Amino acid sequence: MARLLRLSAPGQSSQDYVKKLLANFQKPGDSGHKSSTAASSSLADPLSARELEVLRLIVAGMSNREIAEELFIAESTVKTHINNIYGKLEVQSRTRAIARANELNLL
């Protein structure tokens, strides 16, 4: 939510209101910017254990079919997990998912 607020507020009166809202997200002594370590817990919807497992297999270079075989699940289920991962990490490719996961210290 804080990220969306920072991206909004085109007018000055809106900016003042957004600053007040953002202040509610900060803890005392917090600058409002999160380190990459703290960012892993800042996902609006954290990755499930299974999604993390799929992500690790993606990092290992496995195809959807190989992941399905490794986890004893259908390939369509792997695709669903991957789409969920992309949505939660706000990315659109395996390469970006890996980079984002590294930024967030998820792996």
Domain boundaries, the chain: 2-33, 49-103
Q: Dihedrals φ, ψ of 32, to 5°?
A: 95, -10
Which pLDDT tens digit goes with each residue over 6-54?
556 555 556 666 666 666 655 555 544 444 334 445 688 899 999 999 9
Fold of 49-103: Arc Repressor Mutant, subunit A (1.10.10)
Tell me 90's DSSP state: T
Using one digit for the tens of pLDDT, what is the confidence trace for 2-13? 666 555 655 555
Give the contacts of 34 (CB within 8 A, at least 6 positions apart). Answer: 42
Global pTM?
Answer: 0.62
For residue 106, the model assigns a pLDDT of: 87
For the stretch 83-103, pLDDT in tens is 999 999 999 999 999 999 999
